[in-house]
Amino acid sequence: MEFGLALPSRATDHELVRLAEELGYDQVWFYDSQMLYSDVYATMALAAYRTSRIRLGTGVAVVTTRMAPVIAHSIATINELAPGRVELGIGAGNTARLTMGLPPAKFSRLREDVRLIRKLLDGQTPTMRAEGREVPVRFLHPDRGFINLRDRIPIVLSAFGPKGIALCGAECDGHMVWGLPPQVL
Protein backbone atom coordinates (compact mmCIF):
# COMPACT_ATOMS: atom_id res chain seq x y z
CA MET A 1 0.00 0.00 0.00
CA GLU A 2 1.19 3.51 -0.78
CA PHE A 3 0.45 6.74 1.04
CA GLY A 4 0.23 10.20 -0.44
CA LEU A 5 -0.79 13.75 0.31
CA ALA A 6 -2.70 16.32 -1.71
CA LEU A 7 -1.75 19.89 -0.90
CA PRO A 8 -2.61 23.38 -2.05
CA SER A 9 0.46 24.66 -3.92
CA ARG A 10 2.30 26.84 -1.44
CA ALA A 11 5.83 27.74 -2.49
CA THR A 12 7.06 27.54 1.11
CA ASP A 13 5.72 24.01 1.75
CA HIS A 14 8.86 22.30 0.45
CA GLU A 15 9.82 21.65 4.08
CA LEU A 16 6.48 19.88 4.63
CA VAL A 17 7.16 17.71 1.58
CA ARG A 18 10.64 16.90 2.89
CA LEU A 19 9.05 15.88 6.21
CA ALA A 20 6.45 13.73 4.40
CA GLU A 21 9.29 11.96 2.60
CA GLU A 22 11.12 11.47 5.89
CA LEU A 23 7.95 9.97 7.41
CA GLY A 24 7.69 7.46 4.55
CA TYR A 25 5.02 8.99 2.32
CA ASP A 26 5.25 7.82 -1.28
CA GLN A 27 3.77 10.73 -3.19
CA VAL A 28 2.49 14.28 -2.92
CA TRP A 29 0.08 15.97 -5.31
CA PHE A 30 -0.07 19.77 -5.64
CA TYR A 31 -3.21 21.65 -6.66
CA ASP A 32 -2.92 23.70 -9.85
CA SER A 33 -5.55 26.32 -9.10
CA GLN A 34 -4.21 29.58 -10.42
CA MET A 35 -5.44 32.70 -8.65
CA LEU A 36 -5.92 30.63 -5.46
CA TYR A 37 -2.50 29.17 -4.64
CA SER A 38 1.18 29.50 -5.55
CA ASP A 39 2.31 28.37 -8.99
CA VAL A 40 2.28 24.57 -9.05
CA TYR A 41 5.53 24.19 -11.01
CA ALA A 42 7.50 26.60 -8.81
CA THR A 43 6.21 24.70 -5.78
CA MET A 44 7.16 21.36 -7.32
CA ALA A 45 10.64 22.61 -8.26
CA LEU A 46 11.35 23.58 -4.66
CA ALA A 47 9.97 20.26 -3.41
CA ALA A 48 12.10 18.38 -5.96
CA TYR A 49 15.20 20.20 -4.76
CA ARG A 50 14.49 19.30 -1.11
CA THR A 51 13.65 15.61 -1.63
CA SER A 52 15.17 12.52 -3.20
CA ARG A 53 12.54 9.75 -3.16
CA ILE A 54 8.95 10.97 -2.88
CA ARG A 55 6.99 11.22 -6.15
CA LEU A 56 5.64 14.64 -7.10
CA GLY A 57 2.52 15.28 -9.16
CA THR A 58 0.19 17.99 -10.32
CA GLY A 59 -3.22 17.45 -8.82
CA VAL A 60 -4.31 18.49 -11.42
CA ALA A 61 -2.82 20.59 -14.22
CA VAL A 62 -5.55 22.45 -16.05
CA VAL A 63 -5.95 22.42 -19.82
CA THR A 64 -6.65 25.86 -21.29
CA THR A 65 -5.11 27.92 -18.47
CA ARG A 66 -1.77 26.95 -20.00
CA MET A 67 -1.20 25.75 -23.56
CA ALA A 68 -0.58 22.00 -23.84
CA PRO A 69 3.06 22.47 -24.97
CA VAL A 70 3.66 24.72 -21.95
CA ILE A 71 2.24 22.06 -19.61
CA ALA A 72 4.49 19.43 -21.24
CA HIS A 73 7.51 21.73 -20.97
CA SER A 74 6.83 22.58 -17.32
CA ILE A 75 6.43 18.98 -16.18
CA ALA A 76 9.47 17.86 -18.23
CA THR A 77 11.48 20.59 -16.48
CA ILE A 78 10.42 19.25 -13.08
CA ASN A 79 11.37 15.77 -14.33
CA GLU A 80 14.91 17.09 -14.91
CA LEU A 81 15.03 18.09 -11.23
CA ALA A 82 13.39 14.88 -9.94
CA PRO A 83 14.15 12.20 -12.55
CA GLY A 84 11.52 9.49 -12.66
CA ARG A 85 9.63 10.92 -9.67
CA VAL A 86 7.16 13.09 -11.56
CA GLU A 87 3.56 12.47 -12.61
CA LEU A 88 1.27 14.75 -14.57
CA GLY A 89 -2.23 14.83 -13.14
CA ILE A 90 -4.43 16.64 -15.66
CA GLY A 91 -8.07 17.63 -15.89
CA ALA A 92 -10.69 20.10 -17.09
CA GLY A 93 -10.07 22.56 -14.27
CA ASN A 94 -13.28 22.86 -12.34
CA THR A 95 -11.80 24.93 -9.48
CA ALA A 96 -9.11 26.82 -11.40
CA ARG A 97 -11.38 27.87 -14.25
CA LEU A 98 -14.39 28.63 -12.03
CA THR A 99 -12.17 30.92 -9.96
CA MET A 100 -11.60 32.94 -13.14
CA GLY A 101 -15.31 32.98 -13.97
CA LEU A 102 -14.95 30.32 -16.67
CA PRO A 103 -16.65 26.94 -17.00
CA PRO A 104 -14.53 23.76 -16.95
CA ALA A 105 -12.84 23.00 -20.26
CA LYS A 106 -14.84 21.01 -22.79
CA PHE A 107 -14.07 17.30 -22.99
CA SER A 108 -12.91 17.58 -26.62
CA ARG A 109 -10.24 20.07 -25.54
CA LEU A 110 -9.15 17.85 -22.65
CA ARG A 111 -8.81 14.86 -24.99
CA GLU A 112 -6.89 16.89 -27.58
CA ASP A 113 -4.48 18.29 -24.99
CA VAL A 114 -3.87 14.92 -23.30
CA ARG A 115 -2.95 13.41 -26.68
CA LEU A 116 -0.69 16.33 -27.58
CA ILE A 117 1.09 16.31 -24.22
CA ARG A 118 1.65 12.53 -24.35
CA LYS A 119 3.23 12.83 -27.80
CA LEU A 120 5.48 15.69 -26.70
CA LEU A 121 6.58 13.83 -23.57
CA ASP A 122 7.31 10.79 -25.75
CA GLY A 123 9.67 12.95 -27.86
CA GLN A 124 7.40 13.13 -30.91
CA THR A 125 6.56 16.15 -33.09
CA PRO A 126 2.76 16.39 -33.15
CA THR A 127 0.74 19.15 -34.75
CA MET A 128 -1.60 21.46 -32.88
CA ARG A 129 -4.20 23.93 -33.99
CA ALA A 130 -3.04 27.49 -33.27
CA GLU A 131 -4.37 30.75 -34.65
CA GLY A 132 -6.49 28.96 -37.24
CA ARG A 133 -3.85 26.61 -38.63
CA GLU A 134 -2.08 23.35 -37.88
CA VAL A 135 1.50 23.82 -36.70
CA PRO A 136 4.13 21.27 -35.70
CA VAL A 137 5.37 21.56 -32.13
CA ARG A 138 8.39 19.90 -30.51
CA PHE A 139 11.06 20.38 -27.90
CA LEU A 140 14.07 21.99 -29.58
CA HIS A 141 16.73 20.83 -27.07
CA PRO A 142 15.37 17.68 -25.40
CA ASP A 143 18.82 16.24 -24.67
CA ARG A 144 20.75 19.26 -23.36
CA GLY A 145 19.77 19.14 -19.70
CA PHE A 146 16.91 21.63 -19.83
CA ILE A 147 14.20 18.98 -19.59
CA ASN A 148 14.03 15.23 -19.01
CA LEU A 149 12.16 13.04 -21.48
CA ARG A 150 14.34 9.99 -20.72
CA ASP A 151 12.35 9.07 -17.61
CA ARG A 152 8.75 8.53 -18.70
CA ILE A 153 6.22 10.86 -17.10
CA PRO A 154 2.92 9.10 -16.36
CA ILE A 155 -0.26 11.01 -17.20
CA VAL A 156 -3.01 10.61 -14.61
CA LEU A 157 -6.43 11.88 -15.66
CA SER A 158 -8.99 13.44 -13.36
CA ALA A 159 -12.31 12.73 -15.04
CA PHE A 160 -15.70 11.61 -13.83
CA GLY A 161 -17.96 10.75 -16.77
CA PRO A 162 -17.94 7.75 -19.12
CA LYS A 163 -16.03 9.60 -21.88
CA GLY A 164 -13.37 10.66 -19.40
CA ILE A 165 -13.01 7.17 -18.00
CA ALA A 166 -12.71 5.79 -21.56
CA LEU A 167 -10.00 8.36 -22.38
CA CYS A 168 -8.20 7.43 -19.20
CA GLY A 169 -8.23 3.74 -20.06
CA ALA A 170 -7.18 4.30 -23.66
CA GLU A 171 -4.49 6.95 -23.34
CA CYS A 172 -3.48 7.62 -19.75
CA ASP A 173 -1.51 5.83 -17.06
CA GLY A 174 -3.89 6.33 -14.17
CA HIS A 175 -7.14 7.81 -12.91
CA MET A 176 -7.57 10.36 -10.12
CA VAL A 177 -10.76 11.20 -8.27
CA TRP A 178 -11.32 13.43 -5.27
CA GLY A 179 -14.02 13.27 -2.64
CA LEU A 180 -16.43 10.89 -4.34
CA PRO A 181 -18.68 8.74 -2.19
CA PRO A 182 -18.02 4.98 -2.47
CA GLN A 183 -21.29 4.30 -4.31
CA VAL A 184 -20.13 6.53 -7.20
CA LEU A 185 -16.88 4.61 -7.54
Report pLDDT digits (tens) over 35-69: 999 999 999 999 999 999 999 999 999 999 999 99
Average pLDDT over residues 115-130: 98
Helix 107-121 vs helix 68-81: angle between axes, to the nearest 10 degrees? 40
What is the predicted pLDDT for the residue at 93? Answer: 86
- Report the alpha-carbon distance of residue 69 to residue 174 in Å, rounded: 21
For the beta carbon of residue 124, count every other beta carbon within 10 angstroms: 12
Q: Is 185 a residue whose pLDDT tops 70?
A: no
Are 130 and 53 a contacting pair, CB within 8 Å?
Answer: no
Are 72 and 147 a contacting pair, CB within 8 Å?
Answer: no
What is the predicted pLDDT for the residue at 184? Answer: 61
3-state secondary structure of 132: coil
Whole-structure pTM value? 0.95
The CATH topology of domain 4-175 is TIM Barrel (3.20.20)
pLDDT digits (tens, 9 = 90+) for 130-140: 999 999 999 99
